[in-house]
Amino acid sequence: MAIVAHATVGTNSIDFLRRGGDLPDGSDRRVSIHVLFDKAGKRYVYLPDSVGANHVGFSTLTINGQTFCRTCQINANQSTLGFELENLQDGQDPYTEAQLLSMGWQINEWRRIHGPLPVVRHADIDPTRRSDPTDLSVVQMEEWARRAAGEQPPRNNGLQRFVVIPDSLAIVREGPGTSFPEALGGRSRNLTRLPGGTEVLVDRIVRGEEAFGDTRWAHLENDIGFIHILALERA
């Protein structure tokens, strides 16, 4: 399973998502979602987790080697949980802190119940049709999840300089573990595996999946992503 992030392209989608269509009786119902977060951070639950929502019917995604798609044995609606962030998606309308903290809480809650689900953006699994949620990367959503869990936000002072050890598996990931996808956020997209000798700035070390007997992962500045600590040495 995975968690899919959406944004509504609206300002008041609460009733629309309850109906799922334009007609008041819901007879044209075509979309549904598990949870919506409005701009005040209020959470609206529409469906139980056990029911597939109609939110990613045209999407294709692969989780742990299994692909879900429109023509696959199992489609993406049946293998995902979805949330919507109320937002105009015009590049001007900001997500609010309350909204993103609620989202972070939900991501943590779903993981507590269902295990370490990855978060994906709708745009990344249906790129020809969708662009939501704009201006919100998976790395940023993971940051809000950690913030919602009470971790300190990253400090911008106290950056530590490291260099990538040659021939190490310095793959930049969206979370501190090998189950997280390679970082898709902005600059790192075409450079998720960093060559030996690359200098990186680390704003904190977090605990994550154990690899080679070590659970430490370095979080790169500007939310670029995470690299396992054993791929790095102090500059």
Rule CB under 5 A: which residues touch Zn ion?
A: 6, 122, 132
For strands 80-85 and 35-37, give the pairing: parallel
Residue 180's SS3 state is coil
Token pair listed for 112: 């507590």
Does residue 19 contact residue 28 with C-beta atoms inside 8 Å?
no
Which of 132/223 has CB closer to Zn ion?
132
Contact present, 4 and 82 (Cβ < 8 Å):
yes
Nearer to Zn ion by Cβ, of 95 and 226: the residue is: 95
Beta pairing partners, 85:
7, 37
CB of 26 to Zn ion, least distance (A): 20
**Torsion region of 150: left, alpha or beta (phi above 0 gives left; psi -120 to 50 gives alpha):** left
- State in angstroms the smallest separation of the CB of 7 from Zn ion: 7
Q: Which is nearer to Zn ion, 4 or 232 (CB)?
A: 4
The CB-of-14 to Zn ion minimum distance in angstroms stands at 16
The closest of 19, 41, 39 to 30, measured between CA atoms, is 19
Residue with Cβ nearer Zn ion (6 or 228): 6
CA distance 169 to 159: 22
The nearer residue to Zn ion, 60 or 198, going by C-beta atoms, is 60
CB of 201 to Zn ion, least distance (A): 33
Smallest separation, CB 130 to Zn ion (Å)? 5
